[in-house]
Amino acid sequence: MTTTTETSPPSKEAVFKRRFAAVLQDLQQAGSKDGEAMALLGSLAGELAAKAGQKSWTGLKSIMTADAYASLLRTFDDRGNRHHREGRAKHAYAIQALAISLVAATQRSDPAMAAGEKLLDSVIDYTVAVYFRQKAAARH
């Protein structure tokens, strides 16, 4: 008699945690060395924050309504996939980092996810600060 062990597919939270960890690791190891990708990340996050009257990505996230969250996530999905299809990997990378940050905010009850979100958001906020400094310097 043979017994088979069925394993259920991983939960969407588990899948997200793996993806989040991979993005965070890549951002720390490789992404932060790619000036163009970091500039795209900072400019996108900075412009979104500025449109909402905020000076940082974390500021934007802190005032985001559920409707705004859902809308931005859909936009990120659509545009990120389009950039990827059209070969603009760095644009897709920047959008992916922001989308991952948004979704991570829903996982804060997990201490490891909350710590990872803070780390990711600190990188994003740094790129936003650089973007705003460069934008101000270009005006002078």
Contact 78, 100 (CB under 8 A): no
CA 89 to chain centre: 15
* Cβ pair 95, 45 in contact under 8 A: no
First to last CA, the chain: 80
**For residues 105 and 61, is the Cβ–Cβ distance under 8 A?**
yes
Question: Which two structure tokens, joined as six digits, stand for 50?
Answer: 């500025």
Q: Mean pLDDT score of the chain, rounded to an integer?
A: 91
**Does the pTM exceed 0.75?**
yes
69-99 pLDDT, tens digit each: 999 999 999 999 999 999 999 999 999 999 9
| pLDDT (tens digit per residue) in 37-66 | 999 999 999 999 999 999 999 999 999 999
Helix (H) or strand (E) holding 27: helix 12-29
Give the model confidence (pLDDT) of 11-35 as tens digits.
888 899 999 999 888 888 877 788 9
What does the pLDDT read at residue 46? 98
